[in-house]
Structure 1
Amino acid sequence: MNLRQLSLLGLLLAGAAPSHAQIANLGQEGTAAQANLAALAAGAPAVVPRGSSYGLIGSPYVDNRWLPARITLNNKIPLAAVPLKYDVLEQRLLMRTVERPNDSLQLDDRRVVQFVLLEPGFAQGLGRQRTFRRFEEAPLAKNRPDYVEVLHEGRYTLLKHYVKSLKKADFQGAYSSDRRYDEIEDKTVYYLRTPEAQLLPVKLSLRPLQAAAPALAAALKAAASKQNPKTEADWAAILNAADPAPAK
């Protein structure tokens, strides 16, 4: 990837517009949105990890695609949708421009509190939107600036914390492990946040969820009995049925 620092003018022209034609009315436009977007342009050019000698296995991103994203700053004003990637390994947000698709800019995300990735087909009801917010309630202080994906939100909240680490190649020397590739290892931890603001690590199966949310035990069992939940999306749907979001 060829990574260069983009001019502020280019960032504003390209950053605010790419997905507007596809996804109308999803972000704020005009002077206020551009001013907020300009505040994110202070980030330095990003360098993506590359493997040594034999290459790299795995990806640093939560999603390898450049997806339109709505960003919300701490002033609660959403920005116009921009193409975004979340680099979990380095805990940073990268943005792309349409005019220079091989360029990427690391955003200064100190004011970012949330972003929403819009998968293809969302405007037509075929895709989905994925919400990421700061992990403010993380058990470890070092993880609180991280972003977590919100899989369900009602009285209880189901959060997905992505963790990635880089294992370097080791194939030189008499006592090497003959591991010829750098490898990005993935770990996922799910948490259920209770109405009392407790944060409980959970596994996505019936009994652990019932133990973490005893008030939902019967509703979870009833919802799970109607399908054979296996995937993360299945369990999110079961929580949506057992613990619907409050009316706004």
Structure 2
Amino acid sequence: MLAVLLAATAQAQQTPIGQVGAAAQANLDALTNGSATVVPRGGAYGTIGTPYLDKRWLPGRLQMTNGVPMAPVPLKYDVLNHRLMMRPFNRRDSLLLDDRKLASFQLEEPAINANGLRLRTFRRFVEAPEAALRSEYVEVLHSGKYSLLKRHIKLLHKANYQGPYNSGEQYDQIEDKSNYFLLRPDAKLIPVKLNLKALQAAAPELATALKNAPGAAAAKSDDEWAAILAGVDPK
């Protein structure tokens, strides 16, 4: 029944042949290396925190470097290990995605709005000053003349419960961090904090508009700044 519904929906939307039926499954199979999910193991007492951006399997959309979109598939983004996990519809276990030809991906996150979901977009951090970071993904919070990018970071702190100088920490802990960047129209990448002063300094051309934007003085969250930038720097 699921296959029939998917095929009917794809036909109605005139989906390219590479995204449906046996061709879609073949494309997805080609993106996996057959490795099952490996979750970091903690010490004797386990781990606090998660390596994933979201522990749920979320509907994902994949965009290849050749511009061809792939069939939707459930995804998890393992931030700690910089990798994507995929759960094909014809399997129960999860697989490691071979993302060497992947340019970007989107996650459909349930949210309370008119559409009932929040679409989060991630792409390669090609502007990173360090070459080692350019294969990582950044979340695109805003895209106009300026782009507000968020680099998600997870740090693993090992437990220290053995030996005479232990710290008393009985659990491994995964710490959540993040860095923000403003990509200017002149291609300069400016590290920023999410506050009015920092964004005005990074984008002087928008300084007055940002100052006058409702809520900008007190805005702190990703969603708040995404909405403010959408108002002063539309696509």
TM tier relative to shorter chain = 0.7 to 0.9
Deviation at residue 33 of structure 1 after TM alignment: 3.6
After the TM superposition, which segments of 4 or more aligned residues of structure 1 sit over 4 Å from their partners?
23-27, 98-101, 121-124, 225-228
**CA separation in 1, counterparts of 2:119 and 2:6?**
16
The answer (yes or no) to whether the contact 2:124–2:137 under 8 Å persists in 1 is yes
Structure 2 spans left out of the alignment, 5+ residues: none
Once superposed, what is the RMSD of the aligned Cα atoms? Answer: 2.6
What does the per-residue CA deviation read over 1:83-133, in whole Å, with 9 as the maximum and x for residues that have no partner?
0001011111101245654x2110111001100001136996121100000
**CA separation in 2, counterparts of 1:74 and 1:92?**
17
Match of 1:75 in 2: 66
**CA separation in 1, counterparts of 2:227 and 2:113?**
21
Deviation at residue 31 of structure 1 after TM alignment: 5.7
CA change 1:235–1:57 in 2 (3 A) is same
Match of 1:185 in 2: 175
**CA separation in 2, counterparts of 1:195 and 1:35?**
39
The answer (yes or no) to whether the contact 1:93–1:107 under 8 Å persists in 2 is yes
Match of 1:94 in 2: 85
The answer (yes or no) to whether the contact 1:155–1:243 under 8 Å persists in 2 is yes
Q: Does 1:56 align with 2:47?
A: yes
Pick the aligned partner of 1:29 from 20, 23, 44: 20
TM-score (norm 2): 0.87
Deviation at residue 219 of structure 1 after TM alignment: 1.2
**CA separation in 1, counterparts of 2:147 and 2:202?**
11
Q: What is the SS of the residue equivalent to 2:56?
A: coil
The answer (yes or no) to whether the contact 1:20–1:81 under 8 Å persists in 2 is no
**CA separation in 1, counterparts of 2:79 and 2:139?**
12
Q: Does 1:210 align with 2:200?
A: yes
Deviation at residue 34 of structure 1 after TM alignment: 3.8
Aligned AA for 1:87? D
Paired residues for 1:29-178 under 5 Å: 29-30=20-21, 33-98=24-89, 100-101=91-92, 103-120=93-110, 125-178=115-168
Structure 1 spans left out of the alignment, 5+ residues: 1-13
**CA separation in 1, counterparts of 2:31 and 2:215?**
47
Q: Which has the higher strand share?
A: 2
**CA separation in 1, counterparts of 2:217 and 2:160?**
46
Q: What is the SS of the residue equivalent to 1:119?
A: strand
Comparing both chains, which one has the higher relative contact order based on Cα–Cα distances under 8 Å and sequence gaps of 6 or more?
1
Aligned AA for 2:41? R
Query: Paired residues, what number?
Result: 227
